[in-house]
Amino acid sequence: MLLLSAVLAVTAACGSGGDGPSAGDPADAHLLGTPNKATGTPVRIGFANADGGAGANFPTIGQSAQAAAAYANDYLGGIGGHPLQLVTCDDRSDGVSAAQCATKFVNSGVVGVLHGSVTDTQPYVSALGAAHIPWMAMSGLTPAEFTGERVFLWTAGILGQLGGIAKYAVDHKFTNVGVIGVNVPGVTAVMNSFGTPIFNAAGIKLKLTLIPPGTPDPTPQVTAALSASPQAVIVYADAPTCRGVIPALADGSAPDGKKPVVFITNVCVGQSVLQTVPAADFEGVQLPAYVGPTGSDGETRLYDAVLHKYAPKLNVLDGDTSHGYVVTLAMIRALNGAGVTGDLTSDTLSAALRKARDVRLPLGNGATFTCDGKAIPTFRAMCSGQLVSATLVDARPSSFDVIDATDLIARSFRAS
């Protein structure tokens, strides 16, 4: 379900939708560095991604992952000198292909699997865990991923997102935060399991206002949420609901006349929303757990250069596209940073990831991750509590801050 993906995924970026001209600058080709061609036996890594299905469908994520692999093979010596080969399987989000893809990966001899974007990770985590094959992702979608022995999550995902919002609230001395969400199990479960403990630990009151799915005009629910005078409001909604909630929040105010700070997910800045909601309604809205281009910094220019060379038809500003590049290059940096040599196995790959320290997250605006299992002890698979938060100007991310929610998350979920 797309809404659940929006609630749990960390890839929050402002999408322009579909393929388009690359923003890459040929003049930045020098950022690729000195050619260092990988040779020898390929390192085979699976790449699970929703592609070709009737529902969730993210082909550009896979294409940007292939671009990152090609860049590494040509300029970074691949992985430990060996070329990286991504073994793909198109998950059609049909309730069947996830298990089929997991079986394919187990039987194809891959030494690890990267998560692009799929709606159901459970079949992968279960099958790969039984085969002792590492699962590597930007964030987790199931509790089993948070504590998996061979699961590596570059970021804290929904925990980081909620923790980052809570830390923002603490820093700004907020005591009352509202949540406006569609009344589906994905939203209520996340708020009950993660939102309430995190905000309780921060000493902040959290009130959830639910909107029935398919509600044509959510103004009454938005008005009800604002009547509690929240200093901030978090929106978890599908695109049709966002088209009603965002303008209602822009037009409304609390009884004291003040407007709350609004936090949204990438779904609310998808193309279908931007086409109908005025850009002015997004002014100052916060986009937590943002992973994507951040302007003219070196990471963004490298991303532009890689896509210009290896995937010139992709739109570098598309909100989904960068995810494949980021999750793939993060793994490459972690393994090379750990000094891997020789032919990798599932065991040596896991050991190398556990050794990697302070790995720079691609397009992370300076955020880093360390996968030694100690970043957030209760959730050993999570490699960082850092996240990038963006502020929208003209409906696009324009200023960025790195927030470290590690301590707050750790306090919220202490090991028993």
Distance CA 120, CA 4 (A): 10
Q: What is the mean pLDDT of the chain?
A: 89
**What mean pLDDT is predicted for residues 194-203?**
94
What are 87-120's pLDDT values in tens digits?
Answer: 999 898 888 999 999 999 999 999 999 999 888 8
Given a cut of 80, whether residue 415 has pLDDT beyond it is no
Confidence at residue 7, expressed as pLDDT on a 0 to 100 scale: 52
**What mean pLDDT is predicted for residues 174-183?**
96
What's the whole-model pTM score?
A: 0.88
> For residue 10, what pLDDT band results from cuts at 50, 70 and 90?
very low
Given a cut of 60, whether residue 21 has pLDDT beyond it is no
In the structure encoding, which two tokens stand for residue 158, read together?
Answer: 């929904």
Distance CA 226, CA 177 (A): 10
Distance CA 57, CA 90 (A): 9
In the structure encoding, which two tokens stand for residue 247, read together?
Answer: 């303008």
List the beta bridge partners of residue 235.
180
Question: Is CATH 3.40.50.12780 the classification given to domain 10-155+294-379?
Answer: no
What are 71-82's pLDDT values in tens digits?
Answer: 999 999 999 999
Helix (H) or strand (E) holding 87: strand 84-91
Of 289 and 350, the structure prediction assigns the larger pLDDT to 350
**95: which DSSP letter?**
S
3-state secondary structure 209-225: EEECCCCCCCHHHHHHH
Displacement of CA 321 from its chain's centroid (Å) = 12
Given a cut of 50, whether residue 392 has pLDDT beyond it is yes
Confidence at residue 293, expressed as pLDDT on a 0 to 100 scale: 86
Q: At what angle do helices 219-226 and 239-251 cross, to 10 degrees?
A: 50
CATH 3.40.50.2300, the chain: domain bounds: 10-155+294-379, 158-287
Helix (H) or strand (E) holding 196: helix 196-201
Whose CA is closest to 178, among 221, 233, 227? 233
Confidence at residue 12, expressed as pLDDT on a 0 to 100 scale: 33
Confidence at residue 25, expressed as pLDDT on a 0 to 100 scale: 54
List the beta bridge partners of residue 399.
391
SS3 293: coil
CATH class of 158-287: alpha beta
Given a cut of 90, whether residue 53 has pLDDT beyond it is no
**What mean pLDDT is predicted for residues 161-189?**
93
> For residue 348, what pLDDT band results from cuts at 50, 70 and 90?
very high
**What mean pLDDT is predicted for residues 183-187?**
86
> For residue 374, what pLDDT band results from cuts at 50, 70 and 90?
very high
Confidence at residue 26, expressed as pLDDT on a 0 to 100 scale: 59
Confidence at residue 416, expressed as pLDDT on a 0 to 100 scale: 44
> For residue 306, what pLDDT band results from cuts at 50, 70 and 90?
very high
**What mean pLDDT is predicted for residues 361-382?**
93
Q: At what angle do helices 322-337 and 298-310 cross, to 10 degrees?
A: 110
Helix (H) or strand (E) holding 104: helix 97-107
Confidence at residue 93, expressed as pLDDT on a 0 to 100 scale: 83
Confidence at residue 342, expressed as pLDDT on a 0 to 100 scale: 86
Confidence at residue 344, expressed as pLDDT on a 0 to 100 scale: 95
Helix (H) or strand (E) holding 168: helix 157-171
Percent of all residues in the chain with a pLDDT value above 90, rounded to a whole number = 68
Of 306 and 6, the structure prediction assigns the larger pLDDT to 306
**What mean pLDDT is predicted for residues 331-348?**
95
> How many CB atoms lie under 10 A from the CB of residue 374?
10
